[in-house]
Amino acid sequence: MQLSNNTILITGGTSGIGLAFAEKFMAAGSKVIICGRREERLKALSEKHPELITRTCDVSKAEDRKALAEWVLQNHPEVNVLLNNAGVQLLTDMTTPVELNRVQNEIETNVVAPIHLTSLFAQHFVTKQQAAVINISSGLAFAPLAFMPVYCATKAAVHSLTLSLRHQLKNTSVKVFEVAPPAVDTELGHDRREDKTQSHGGMAIKDFIEEAMEALKNDVFEAPIGQAKGLHAKREVLFEQMNNQHQPHLPVNHEQ
């Protein structure tokens, strides 16, 4: 995949991995559009990066996704890359009655949104000489952590969906990538931290993004990054090891 001369839509682009991709693609010479729910962050990023195009959108809502796609296609018809990055990571204790709104929000954001957005752009992308869909899954797609089962299941779904999409688009100009991060030092997973602004540690974003961009550049279509490589290669063995190490108390009726 060429890293320059693209117009890229990145969901969940106001922080973490999404923002890192945005900054790297802009530095490589691509136009970048990011969307996110937090207007104050979008405004701050517009001031920091005047060349960055921003749009308020909650990808967990179908009407927002439709409006986003219509706006992008009308105002930036040169768009040729969709990076499905927005994600929610919550704790879920399935041994007690779950809060369905939390489960539904996680599934809608992590699975339904990439399906829907991809479908809204696919026919446009096949008209381009070069185009790509980049799905962000997770190392936990291959070896889940049992205390966040819905998140891990959604990322396993993203992996499966990416395989199917790649097959469906195999005779077109559209390349389909899956980037599977390890734990990366971002805000993701704040649901289980008392200080919601605290990151959870893990791979430094700068190290993750360098490896991820290199994978895209070299057309590595299924790209586990860092420790996710081990989760991808040794799934069942590492499942037992990981879940014996991580057995947190799961809160009941824990609000997001």
- Which runs of consecutive H residues, i.e. helices, occur in 77-197? 100-107, 113-125, 149-168
Cα(104)–Cα(111) distance, integer angstroms: 10
- Could you tell me the pLDDT band of residue 227, with boundaries at 50, 70 and 90? confident
Clarify whether 182 is annotated catalytic. no
Is the confidence at residue 197, as pLDDT, over 90?
A: no
pLDDT per position as a tens digit, 134-180: 999 999 998 899 999 999 999 999 999 999 999 999 999 999 999 99
pTM, to two decimals = 0.87
Question: Which one, of 184, 104, 82, 178, lies nearest residue 137 by Cα?
Answer: 178
| Cα first-last separation, the chain | 37
- How high is the pLDDT of residue 246? 61
Cα(206)–Cα(80) distance, integer angstroms: 25
Report CA dihedral (37, 40, 43, 45) to the nearest 10 degrees: -80
Question: Which one, of 13, 11, 8, lies nearest residue 25 by Cα?
Answer: 8
Q: Which of 151, 177, 208, 221 is catalytic?
A: 151
Residues 6+ apart with CB under 8 A from 202: 182, 183, 184, 185, 186
pLDDT per position as a tens digit, 9-53: 999 999 999 999 999 999 999 999 999 999 999 999 999 999 999
What is the set of domains in the chain, with CATH numbers? Answer: 7-245 (3.40.50.720)
Neighbouring C-alpha atoms within 13 Å toward the C-beta of 193: 13
**The 7-11 sheet, strands edge to edge:** 53-56, 31-36, 7-11, 81-84, 131-136, 174-180, 222-224
